[in-house]
Structure 1
Amino acid sequence: MTQSIRWLQDEIADRMLQKLDIVKLNVRDILVVPDYPADHHAAVARRFPDARIHSVIEDGSSRLQLWIAKARANWRSIFRRSKTSALAHLHTSNKFDIPDNSVDLVFSNLLLHDLADPKLFLQECWRVLREGGLVVFSYLGPDTGKELRAIQGGALKLKNLRSPWDMHDLGDALVSKRFSDPVMDMEYLTLDYEQPQLLLGDVEALNLANANPHVEAEISDLPQKLTLEIVYGHAWALGKHLAKSQDSVAYIDVNQIGRKTRTDSH
């Protein structure tokens, strides 16, 4: 994503937080991935005023920009020690640079479609979440940019989403990574454009096509709208004391089983 699409990131972040209104969650630490210097910090700080926000910084953002954004959103955040790492590190290692069982909420906005394997991301979320923690995410679904497919070729070189998973695919992936009670839903957003260069700017910012300054001149029938399929989901990290399940059966150590005793009175 680039600066030109910040409004979309903030809008989707607001919608994600609205969906959390019905969720009861005691949050001490949040991991925001990707994090970027925009208005979403104020919304997150209002929703979780006492939480520390750990950041995986979006490519192209600076730590200073992010620090200023956090301070503006909630000045108390500048006195809280939090962890900061780069999104590039996640792309290369599939790892978050934070310890096991260290956050109560992973908040991931418009990222999963850009990952080579979202299952590895979910695996990392499971690792860093505390017992009873929540992962909440949004991403672009496979119908995104469907208007462009009819005119692709020549000057317009479309790029496939790295992970064009629909909400059923992600729901299955959550279950396979041991998350509980996954909830998935989806909506379509339609963006209308008066000028083709504005559409092409968003197409590039959304990473749907390679940049080409000659596209507008070479293609006369560019659409005046762009469809975004936004997929939302959340799931709980429960039963982390259980050993990894096999064949849909979870195994636990015998020492983890409590024994109830009864004292008979005479």
Structure 2
Amino acid sequence: MTQPIRWLHDEIAVRMLQKLDIVKLDAKDILLIPDFSGKHRSLLTRRFPNARIHSIIEGGMSGLDLLIARIKSHWRALIFPGKVFHIGAYLKTGKFNLPDNSVDLILSDLLLQDLADPKHFLQECWRVLKEGGLISFSYLGPDTGKELRPLEIENLRLKTLLSPWDMHDMGDALVGERFSDPVMDMEYLTIEYEKPALLMADINGLKLAHSTPSETSEMADLPQKLTLEVVYGHAWAIGKHLAKAKDQVAYIDINQIGRKTRPDSA
């Protein structure tokens, strides 16, 4: 996203952590994806002071930027640093460079709308989460930018979000990928603009357009506000020893079945 709406990442991250206030979770290893400018790390460090935080950062963020963010967030991050990866590596391979069953919490802020296959993202989260781990996420839903759809501006070519999933689609996908007790929520945020150029910058940042007007006069018909549909969700990784259900039946590995013995009679 563009710099003018960088505040949006921070605001949504704060709201996500507020929603987790009622969740009891002793997180030792956390995966933060994406870690926008390293700022979200400080929020998590305050909430989970003893956790090791693994970051998937933006491509333009340097190692020095991340080091500064670590210093600002908490001294412990320097002694027990988590792993750091660039988002480009995940987008290319579809894999987190982490072992199976290695993290307690995944926090994903405004990423899923930019993924062609959110289901694959959920599968990868399931892989790296420990038994009893939690995934918490936010993303922009399909009503985002709905004011733009009726527009007929010659040089403005609009597009839908790469993943136009509403919260019901995501809830179904969580269940389909074996997550337990999914909780979904949604809210509308409205941003008002004094200048069309500011709106145009955010349209580009939100990836809502293939091409944009170059002439100021062409922007005169733009609306003065933009609606964001923000979807929130979290779900638990429970019963990871169970095989994936087939035909609504879950199969258990025979090694997971305990054998109860009866004491010898006198």
TM range (shorter): over 0.9
Output the CA distance in 2 between the equivalents of 1:6 and 1:220: 25
Cα shift at 1:263? 2.7
TM-score (norm 2): 0.95
Partner of 2:245: 245
Partner of 1:236: 236
Partner of 2:183: 183
Q: Which deviates the most, 215-224 or 75-84?
A: 215-224
Letter in 2 for 1:128: V
Output the CA distance in 1 between the equivalents of 2:3 and 2:63: 16
CA separation of 1:211 and 1:76: change in aligned 2, threshold 3 A? farther
CA separation of 1:66 and 1:186: change in aligned 2, threshold 3 A? same
Identity level (%):
64
Cα shift at 1:210? 3.6
Partner of 1:113: 113
Output the CA distance in 2 between the equivalents of 1:213 and 1:65: 34
Output the CA distance in 2 between the equivalents of 1:35 and 1:245: 33
Letter in 2 for 1:250: A
Output the CA distance in 2 between the equivalents of 1:214 and 1:238: 52
Secondary structure of 2:100's match?
A: coil
Cα shift at 1:213? 5.5
Partner of 1:15: 15
Partner of 1:216: 216
Contact 2:36–2:58, Cα closer than 8 Å, also in 1? yes
- The question of 1:51 aligning with 2:39 is answered no
CA separation of 1:81 and 1:219: change in aligned 2, threshold 3 A? closer
CA separation of 1:108 and 1:152: change in aligned 2, threshold 3 A? farther
Q: Which deviates the most, 28-37 or 54-63?
A: 54-63
Which string of whole-angstrom CA distances, capped at 9 and with x for unpartnered residues, describes residues 228-263 of structure 1? 000000110001111222112111122311122333
Partner of 2:203: 203
Partner of 2:166: 166
- Give unpaired runs (5+ residues) of structure 1: none
Partner of 2:263: 263
Output the CA distance in 2 between the equivalents of 1:192 and 1:91: 32
CA separation of 1:24 and 1:213: change in aligned 2, threshold 3 A? same
Contact 1:57–1:63, Cα closer than 8 Å, also in 2? no
Secondary structure of 1:105's match?
A: strand
CA separation of 1:38 and 1:85: change in aligned 2, threshold 3 A? closer
Partner of 1:73: 73
Partner of 1:148: 148
Cα shift at 1:215? 5.0
- The question of 1:84 aligning with 2:84 is answered yes
Cα shift at 1:194? 1.1
Output the CA distance in 1 between the equivalents of 2:35 and 2:160: 24
Q: Which deviates the most, 190-199 or 8-17?
A: 190-199
Cα shift at 1:48? 0.8
Q: Which deviates the most, 82-91 or 185-194?
A: 82-91
Cα shift at 1:212? 3.4
RMSD: 1.5
Letter in 2 for 1:108: S
Partner of 1:157: 157
Cα shift at 1:265? 6.0
Contact 2:31–2:54, Cα closer than 8 Å, also in 1? yes
Contact 2:174–2:235, Cα closer than 8 Å, also in 1? yes
Output the CA distance in 2 between the equivalents of 1:97 and 1:27: 19
- Give unpaired runs (5+ residues) of structure 2: none
CA separation of 1:152 and 1:101: change in aligned 2, threshold 3 A? farther
Letter in 1 for 2:188: Y
Output the CA distance in 1 between the equivalents of 2:217 and 2:153: 14
